[in-house]
Amino acid sequence: MDELIRELEEQESRLVFDRFDNDDAWALGCLLVETAKERSLGITIDIRRDGQQLFHAARPGTAPDNDRWIERKIRVVERLHASSYLVGRRLAARGKQFDAGYGVDPAEYATHGGAFPIRVRNVGVVGVVTVSGLPQADDHALVVEVLGRFLAAVS
C-alpha cells in the first residue's frame, strides 16, 4: 500500500500544467474521448476549472449514475486538492473512511479513483479532470496516462 501511495503522490507532483484555460480543457477532453473510442471504453468524462464545467462527454455504455459518481469524486479533489484515488488509498492504509468523522456525508463524496487535480505550477489546484465507468484503479490510470500524453505534447 505504501508503494502505491508513493506512486500516486509522484504522479501528482509530476503532472502539473504551466497554464490551463478553456482551450486546454477542450483539447484534453477530446484526447480522453479519442482514447476511449480507440479502446471501446464506456466512460463519462468531465473537466472543470474553478467550479465551471468546461468539458463533458458520455460514451456509449454509460448512464446518468456515472454523472453522480463524477460529482462525488470531484468534491473530494476540490476539498483536499489530491486525487480521489490517492485520498481513498491513504484512508484505506489507515483503516479509515471519508465519512461523518471527517465532517462529510459519504453520499456526497467518493474516494474512488478517477478524479485528478488540475494543478498549475506556482498557482496550485485550479480544476479537476474526472473519468467514471471503469474500475476505480482503471479510471485513475486512464486519466494519468492521458494527462501525461497531453502535457508531453504541450511542453
Write out pLDDT tens, residues 59-97. 999 999 999 999 999 999 999 999 999 999 999 999 998
Write out pLDDT tens, residues 125-148. 999 999 999 999 999 999 999 999
Q: Give the pLDDT score at 115.
A: 98
Residue 25 carries which side chain, given as an amino acid letter?
A
Measured in degrees and rounded to the nearest 5, phi and psi for residue 99 equal -145, -155
Query: pTM for this structure?
Result: 0.96
CA atoms within a 13 Å half-sphere pointing along the CA-CB vector of 116: 31
Q: If DSSP states are collapsed to H, E and C, what string results for the chain?
A: CHHHHHHHHHHHHHCCECCCCHHHHHHHHHHHHHHHHHHCCCCEEEEEECCEEEEEEECCCCCHHHHHHHHHHHHHHHHHCCCHHHHHHHHHHCCCCCCHHHCCCCCCCCCCCCEEEEEECCCEEEEEEEEECCCHHHHHHHHHHHHHHHHHHHC
pLDDT band, very low/low/confident/very high, at 32 (cuts 50, 70, 90): very high
- Look at residue 1 and tell me whether its pLDDT is greater than 80: no
Name the average pLDDT for the chain.
96
Number of Cβ within 10 Å of residue 88's Cβ equals 22
Residue extents of the structural domains in the chain:
2-154
Q: Which residues are registered as beta bridge partners of 57? A: 45
CATH superfamily of 2-154: Haem-degrading domain (3.30.450.150)
